[in-house]
Amino acid sequence: MSLKPRKDAKYAVVAPSSMGVRICPLNGAPVQSSEMFFLQATSAETNVLSVSSYLGLRAKVLTAFVKDSPIAALIKNNLRSRNIEFEGPEVPQGGPWGYRHQFNIGDSGFGARGPRVHNDRAGEVGRTLCAKDFDLERLFGAEGVGILHVSGLIAALSPETGAFCADLADAAKKHGALVSFDLNYRKSFWDGREKELSGMFSRIASNADILAGNEEDFQLALGIEGPESGGKGLAGKTDSFKGMIGNVKKAYPNASVFATTLREVIDANRHLWGALMLEGGDWHSAEPREIGVLDRIGGGDSFVGGLLYGILKGWEPEKWLQFGWACGALAVTMMTDYAQPADEEQIWSVWQGNARVRR
């Protein structure tokens, strides 16, 4: 294995994030037709951390809270229940029209009706995150971090968060931490900011050891020229992704792992789910299989979380991908948008296709 996380690190994995709440109707109903909702604390980056935190590794989120907010208290209690430590400033609300935590409102879809998601992020406190709020020398130097995980969602949230993520990546590399970057391109975040964000994403990616994303992510977030289409379906996506990685490796030679999920939607509750990874010069794949889907949100995050867990445990690369695939397949069986594995055995059972009752 070429990737070696720092052995003496206090924290196995750390991620910056803007925390919020997700509101979903019960029983897969549409939002506009519902009166009862399930509310949970959420963020893409803590979805990634949850795999390691539930399986006993020390994880930490760097975030910001609205001071004296009951939603902030709910988020903190949720993070504690997931064994995720947290650090960050308490920002005064500034009155009823001031700061708040983001709201993500969406349904799970059902059958032929696909899910719909509405983001309500006005006044989001996480957009204020910056390096001066944290002691990076203490965190990455004295305490130590195995892997820093950065998502393109937090990096693109505001000019401040972009600079924060880039500063974190610089500090991580300085002190021997691995850097994971899941590009997570979102057009609505990039509109009118293409020049600013392409430079920021390139800076973060230059420090990355692990790059995750799909074809659109690499082309639109990093400006990588894609190959001609490999054809229709998942086989075509596999061929196209393999062709593109050659261009990515030339542009970002410090990275040694490139990974993506492969998904084909049969209907809202049945997907073909696969994954592909290049580690060094070796390709590894999880051939697409049909999986049952209760709620699809968070499957990709949990794939990355499982991949990072395998790296942290020192497994062979083939197992990184298998464990990541199974973590993603596990996450979509839960209403929370993060996997809550009972133990490693449960995840390996998902990989093996063993859904028999355990007594």
Q: According to the model, what pLDDT value does residue 239 have?
A: 80
User: Are 5 and 147 spatial neighbours (Cβ–Cβ below 8 Å)?
Assistant: yes
Q: According to the model, what pLDDT value does residue 245 have?
A: 87
| b/e 69-92 (16+ beta carbons within 10 angstroms → b) | bebbebbbebbeebbbbbebbebe
- Euclidean distance between CA atoms 5 and 67, whole angstroms: 35
Q: How far is CA 105 from CA 12, 42, 76, 118, 217, in A?
A: 31, 11, 20, 5, 24
Q: According to the model, what pLDDT value does residue 237 have?
A: 75
Q: According to the model, what pLDDT value does residue 229 have?
A: 57
Per residue in 74-100, pLDDT (tens digit) is 999 999 999 999 999 999 999 999 999
Model confidence, pTM: 0.95
Q: How many residues does the chain have?
A: 359
Q: According to the model, what pLDDT value does residue 19 have?
A: 98
Stretches where the chain sits below pLDDT 50 are: none
Run of H or E including 289: strand 282-292
- Euclidean distance between CA atoms 310 and 316, whole angstroms: 8
Q: According to the model, what pLDDT value does residue 221 have?
A: 92
Q: According to the model, what pLDDT value does residue 158 have?
A: 95
Q: According to the model, what pLDDT value does residue 173 have?
A: 96
User: Are 249 and 255 spatial neighbours (Cβ–Cβ below 8 Å)?
Assistant: yes
